[in-house]
Amino acid sequence: MPTCAPLALVDAPADAPSRPDSTSPSDVPKPPDAPAARLDVAADLLALLRDVTTEPRPDTQLEALTLAVAADLPVLLWGEPGIGKTAALTQLAAALDLPLTTVIASVHEPSDFSGLPVLGDDPATQGVPMAPPDWAVRLVRAGRGLLFLDELSTAPPAVQAALLRLVLERRIGALRLPPGVRIVVAANPRSSAADGWELSPPLANRFVHLQWAHDHDVVVRGLGGTWPRATLPRLDPARLPEAVDFARRAVCGLLAARPTLVHRLPSGETRRGGAWPSPRSWEMTLHLIAFATAAGSSRDVLSLLVRGAVGDGPGLELLAGLDRMDLPDPEDLLADPAGAELPQRGDLRQAALDAVVAAVRSRPDRSRWDAAWALLVRAVETGAPDLVVVPATTLAALRQDDWDVPPSIESLAGAVALSHRADRAAARTKQRDAGTAKATR
């Protein structure tokens, strides 16, 4: 029975064109109309479209993200689909020179994060080790990287539970991620997620939650080829001890005055899946304040981070406490009212003047009373006069019978009277509008 020769031994036809052995099919010129040639041109066009650059540009949410990553805190980006969360993480990894590892959480099983059991030679004596996934092994070998867990809100509760140890202890099976690995997660709101789930409270409380929104100007300029550049914050080495002390005083001062804020689990399921106060999230807040202080970050950046760690209500209370920490000492103001530097912001100036009046009330003295009036005069000369009305009224009520009225009060009389007239005019206008609305019914 005849047998077929192997393919490698079949001779080519005599009339077949010869080709040198060193020439590969890709070296042969392609006809201009060949499909492969058209794909080469398409590839060139795609390369031009991907050729973009970056520029230093103020971007509050990108700066907040970069600062949290520098603080080695897990970050959760909330945003609608297509808002640019994945693109921001890709650009962040490139800017920080960190290899990016993307894992779609919703398409994995719980064992992919807790580890798969692998039987050894003698499980009774050696136990059953939990084998980690390949991407975790690559991160450990690299020693550094940015782990991006995408679509967290579409991961079922069992997968979310398996992620608890990864996010908090940085362990996957038998492996522990090295300190050089940062963790960032992205999620869509349940209303816009495919088969979305609310985050479990234990998992949600492990993240700094940042609401990711698009900026019209950034998108337009980015589509034109220039995106904002993510840069690590420059921490001032000389301010590190001061930053830690400031952060500790801010957090401990608030919690000492408001003990109910130490741990407050929200009642609603949706709010439990976001930022809320606990000892764990307050510790993250302390780290964020220290990093933001050492980096000289703006109040807007700090606001995003603090509210993203403990929620809007406690976060705003903490920010108000930070403002009060920056207020001048009322005793320093009373010691030199002529050279006093009052805050420029109206609410802070009002708080400083109220603190001065409170200091006089706690230790009433003729010289301190006169100094407070001199300070109110300086406040009128350097700011809005209506801010002195309440402090002046309260200070006047502290006068004792043997205290003469200081001449400086005369310069305040006009401002106080003008404020009272404005209040009466506003009341009359409100009453007239109410009467007009009643008559037209």
Report pLDDT digits (tens) over 225-275. 888 888 888 899 999 999 999 999 999 988 988 899 999 999 887 888 899
Q: What is the pLDDT of residue 128?
A: 73
Closest by CA to 151, choosing from 63, 68, 66, 76, is: 76
The separation between the first and the last C-alpha atoms of the chain, rounded to the nearest angstrom, is 110
Backbone angles phi, psi at 254, to 5 degrees: -70, -45
In a 13 Å sphere around the CA of 338, the CA atoms on its Cβ side amount to: 1
Q: What is the pLDDT of residue 280?
A: 95
- CB neighbours of 78 closer than 8 A, spacing ≥ 6? 187, 188, 189, 209, 210, 211, 212
Q: Scan for tokens 């109220």, then name that residue.
A: 354
- Kindly report, residue by residue over 26-74, the tens digit of the pLDDT: 555 666 667 788 888 999 999 999 888 888 888 899 999 999 999 999 9
Helix (H/G/I), strand (E/B), else coil: 438: helix
Q: What is the pLDDT of residue 191?
A: 66
Listed in sequence order, the DSSP H helices in 14-110 are 35-50, 60-70, 85-95
Q: What is the pLDDT of residue 133?
A: 86
Q: For the sheet containing 144-150, what is the strand order?
A: 100-104, 144-150, 180-187, 75-78, 208-211
Q: Where are the domains of the chain?
A: 57-115+130-228, 237-325, 330-439
Low-confidence stretches of the chain (pLDDT < 70) are: 1-33, 120-126, 190-196, 408-441
Q: What is the pLDDT of residue 192?
A: 64
Q: For domain 57-115+130-228, which CATH number applies: 3.20.20.80, 3.40.50.720, 3.40.50.1370, 3.40.50.300?
A: 3.40.50.300
